[in-house]
Amino acid sequence: MTEFQELTIARHLTQRLHELSVSEGFGIVGDYVLKFVGTLHEAGMPVLNTTDEQGAGFAADAYARVRGFGMVVCTYGVGGLKLANATANAWSERVPLLVVSGAPGISERENDPMLHHRVKDFDTQLRVFQDLTCAQAVLGNAHAAADEIDRVMACMVSEQRPGYLEVPRDMVTQVIAPPESSLHVHVPPVDEAALRHAVGDVMAHLRDASTAVIHAGAMVERRKLSKALYRLATTSGIPVASSSLARGVFPERHELGLGVYLGALSPEHVVRRVEDADVLLSLGVLQTDLTLGAFTAHIDHERYILATDTDVTVGYSTYRDVPLWAFIPALADALDGESISVGHSPLPTHENFVPSDDACTVSDVVHAIEIHLDERHSLLLDPGEALFSAVDMRVPTYAHASAYYATMGYAVPAALGVGKADPDRRPVVVVGDGAFVMTGLEAAACAYNGVPAIIVVLDNSGYGTQRPIMDGPFNDIPAIAVERLPEAFGTGCGFDVRTRAELDDALHEAVDSDELCILRVHLPKDGRSAALERLGEALRARA
């Protein structure tokens, strides 16, 4: 964009997105949004195609988890309303996902005509997104449009929640007034005195502790605090377990790495380290049922320090306005000036994966992936067995998942998002067969957009996570030979995997190739990971 061009919605939005490190969006056109997408492309903000809007929403969400912000662009009604679920996922998991929808022109709405894609009235979609986002604007006024865009984007970054913009199509070519100021992003405020007291209180607990553990969660990642976390851990020698929403926020293979703590779902040796620690420092962990192992986490309140996006609670005392972004560096500083003695010995390394002619189990997949992956990859774990079984893996890289909202079918389109957001890492997806068929054609969109993902489908003939709770024909799904899909896509390789040796070979080949790879791993219908057995028990006890 040159200085001589007049400002339009697309140009202003593109500039703000560039400021937030966003260099592409995802979405699907339609007549209400077509020209807007055209002007975005001209302004330097390409919108990449997926096969369905749902996939575009998940791709943009995953992009936002890596880059800090993401955008999905859609048409009115038939596009926007397909994104309700992806937006809800972003709300629940604190992701600044911007939904930008085209809409009928303001002038077209006169006399309230029944225009296609309309529902109850022209504001139905806006009202739906009011229930799913932290800020919304319909850009129907050229004087206010730039400021409205800034208001929505600033709120999203401040709150780490999704937002919504609607662009009436007769506004696309209008010259808009420049914004009143630059983008003002607010972070949660800090009370410096409370911060000093909180750090002092925590230090007192740590001085008395012979063991301590950090549990690091999503808000550490969202607030870009992983470097501060690393300093805190390495300065103090306190080991770190991650939340399932923040795998990779601390390197799991570091000697201070404990992998994932997910309540009773975690391996027993992780559970013991976390739950038996004299001090448990919970940093930015969303306190949800799934991320705490269906609320099976047994944590002694007296020994619990809970730092959230806004406050720190030590035992029964809460320090208000002590946000995570201020607390972690301040605690690291305090620990830098004083050595404490918390004991820690690195976790045992896992037993080796031995290729053989034995039929594959879920555990085999976990161990084989653990061996074949390295820091050149990123991992996407779909809800269900893929997510749960991976607690037995220490990943060498980032692993993204819809780990709380738990929307099946997230991982394949999310691979497109992380692949574009972080081109140095090749996405590896682990997904169940039931989830794969929800969004699996987005594998073609990955390849089409230059993201040669490796997709490992755990095929246990249906909804394996449900069978232990109650089984019936509703848990069976049409069997699909997903390894044949690359033939239909005209690109990539498929692998039909039944034994441990075949799994090892296929992963070797996939990691060495630079094409889309789809591995179908046949698993016994009633086989499940130890982690899932434990979750099934917890859910059965409650349902």
Applying CB under 8 A, does 158 fall inside the site for its own copies? no
Largest CA distance in the chain: 74
Footprint of its own copies on residues 40-59 (CB under 8 A)?
41, 46-47, 49, 51-54
Asked if 23 touches its own copies (CB under 8 A), the answer is: no
- DSSP-derived pairing of the beta strands 70-74 and 257-260: unpaired
Q: Give min distance, CB of 38 to its own copies, in A.
A: 5
Does 541 bind its own copies (CB under 8 A)? Our answer is no
Kindly state whether residue 298 participates in binding its own copies, applying the rule CB under 8 A: no
Q: Which of 106, 177, 185, 539 binds its own copies (CB under 8 A)?
A: 539
90 or 335: whose CB is closer to its own copies?
A: 90
Kindly tell me which of 119 and 354 has the beta carbon lying closer to its own copies.
Answer: 119
User: Residue 363 interacts with its own copies (CB under 8 A)?
Assistant: no
Which DSSP category does 287 fall into?
-
Q: Is 124 in the site for its own copies (CB under 8 A)?
A: yes
Residue 74, beta-bridge partner list = 101
Give 365's contacts (C-beta < 8 A, 6+ positions apart): 389, 430, 456, 458, 503, 521, 523
Which 409-468 positions form the footprint of its own copies (CB under 8 A)? 409, 437-441, 444-445, 447-448, 463, 465-466
Is 72 or 437 the residue whose CB approaches its own copies more closely? 437
Q: How far apart are CA 141 and CA 63, in angstroms?
A: 30
Among residues 118 and 253, whose Cβ is nearest to its own copies? 118
Binding mask 484-503 toward its own copies (x if CB under 8 A, else -) reads xx-xxxx-------------
Tell me if 443 sits within 8 A of 489, measured CB to CB: yes
Chain positions 366 to 385 lying near its own copies, rule: CB under 8 A, are none
**Binders in 189-248 for its own copies, by CB under 8 A:** none
474 contact partners, CB below 8 Å, separation of at least 6: 463, 466
DSSP state of 22: -
By the rule CB under 8 A, 299 interacts with its own copies:
no
Distance in Å, CB of 70 to its own copies, minimum: 17
How many whole angstroms separate alpha carbon 368 and alpha carbon 395? 11
Q: Which of residues 69-108 bind its own copies (CB under 8 A)?
A: 77-78, 81-82, 84-85, 88-89, 91-92, 108
Tell me the window of 226-234, 248-256, 313-321, 474-482 that interacts with its own copies (CB under 8 A): 474-482
Assess contact for 377 and 399: CB atoms under 8 A: no
- Which residue type does 82 have? K
Q: Residue 140, interface with its own copies (CB under 8 A)?
A: no
Tell me how far, at minimum, the Cβ of 301 lies from its own copies, in Å.
15
Provide the CA 141 distance to its chain's centre, in angstroms. Answer: 34
CB of 88 to its own copies, least distance (A): 5
Report yes or no: 207 and 142 within 8 Å, Cβ to Cβ: no
Q: 324-336 and 226-236 helices cross at what angle (nearest 10)?
A: 30
C-beta neighbour count of 164 within 10 angstroms = 26
Q: What are the angstrom distances between the C-alpha of 121 and each of 109, 128, 164, 222, 445?
A: 10, 12, 18, 36, 33
Which residue in the set 175, 204, 354, 470 belongs to the binding site for its own copies (CB under 8 A)? 470
Of the pair 84, 299, the CB lying nearest its own copies is at 84
